[in-house]
């Protein structure tokens, strides 16, 4: 259903407000550069700091500019099940192709609680759901046996896996079937993830290097792993540099260097990328021949 390079879009801010013009330009640039889908209001989009109105407006803007050229997977996660369902209902009405729903954070539910959360969402809204497992942020870990149970629900169609455990790709293939859509949530592991059975990446790096990320993913889909490794070698330092400070500070700085005039503003409690982080990003951009 979904594959290739799918950027988890940053949300540009200017003077504290969502910069709608910059976001529209970003969406069009991403599509022109070969991205195969778009994720507004994910973690990289600073969804935790968006008001409901802002959250829904960003989804609307993304759909308006995409105009059906690529699927839009709306970030709909929350640690409150009722709020996540509200987000999903809005996204479905607006025309999103699917919802990206992070495992409930902070509450630290059991595996049964995680299962019940997703099952309730699937029962309350038939928009396709992509699970999102990122235990480094949520503390909770969506275990393979729980993923297998959830995959039995027809509207749960895939997973963005940022667990860092590549063995889970094989586990999910065996328990969920080869048609269950597995997308990497870690750019630096995307090549190996695809070799193990994944079909794409919901990417941070694609914000700033969309064409290279799209070419890498296409090479993987074509089973041209020599070409994929060549591109990955160009991107590898940048992958690491974009996480030398709290994300998305470094990627917003990187975008301000590649797209002149693009705002690098973040919202508290995040702060702009440090000087050391900016130097690492500059080195990564140079290595990738992006500046």
Which residues are marked as active site?
Answer: 132, 160
Sheet holding 98-102, edge to edge: 4-7, 200-203, 181-184, 156-161, 129-133, 98-102, 73-75
Rounded to whole angstroms, the Cα distance separating 98 from 120 reads 16
Give the CA distances from residue 58 to residues 19, 39, 46, 167, 202, in Å, rounded to whole numbers and listed in that order.
Answer: 10, 10, 11, 35, 18
Q: What Rg, from alpha-carbon coordinates, does the chain have?
A: 18
DSSP 127: S
Rounded to whole angstroms, the Cα distance separating 282 from 124 reads 46
Place of tokens 């989804």: 59
């Amino acid at each position: 259903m979904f594959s290739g390079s799918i950027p988890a879009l940053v949300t540009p801010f200017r003077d504290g407000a969502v910069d709608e013009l910059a976001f529209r330009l970003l969406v069009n640039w991403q599509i022109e550069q070969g991205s195969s889908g778009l994720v507004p209001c994910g973690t990289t989009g600073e969804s935790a700091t968006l008001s409901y109105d802002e959250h829904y407006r960003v989804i609307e803007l993304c759909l308006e500019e995409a105009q059906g050229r690529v699927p839009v997977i709306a970030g709909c996660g929350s640690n409150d099940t009722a709020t996540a369902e509200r987000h999903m209902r809005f996204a479905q009405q607006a025309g999103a192709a699917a919802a990206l729903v992070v495992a409930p954070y902070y509450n630290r539910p059991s595996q049964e609680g995680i299962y019940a959360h997703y099952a309730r969402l699937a029962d309350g809204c038939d928009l396709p759901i992509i699970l999102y497992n990122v235990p480094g942020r949520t503390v909770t870990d969506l275990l393979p046996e729980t993923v297998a149970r959830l995959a039995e629900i027809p509207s749960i169609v895939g997973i963005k896996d940022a667990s860092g455990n590549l063995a889970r790709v094989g586990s999910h293939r065996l328990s969920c079937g080869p048609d269950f859509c597995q997308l990497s949530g870690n750019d630096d592991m995307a090549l190996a993830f695809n070799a193990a059975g994944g079909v794409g990446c919901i990417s941070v790096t694609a914000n700033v290097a969309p064409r290279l990320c799209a070419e890498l993913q296409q090479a993987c889909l074509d089973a041209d792993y020599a070409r994929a490794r060549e591109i990955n070698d160009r991107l590898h330092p940048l992958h690491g540099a974009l996480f030398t400070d709290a994300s998305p500070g470094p990627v917003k700085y990187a975008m301000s260097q590649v797209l002149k005039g693009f705002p690098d503003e973040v919202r508290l409690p995040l702060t702009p990328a440090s000087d050391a982080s900016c130097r690492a990003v500059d080195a990564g951009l140079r290595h990738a021949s992006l500046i």
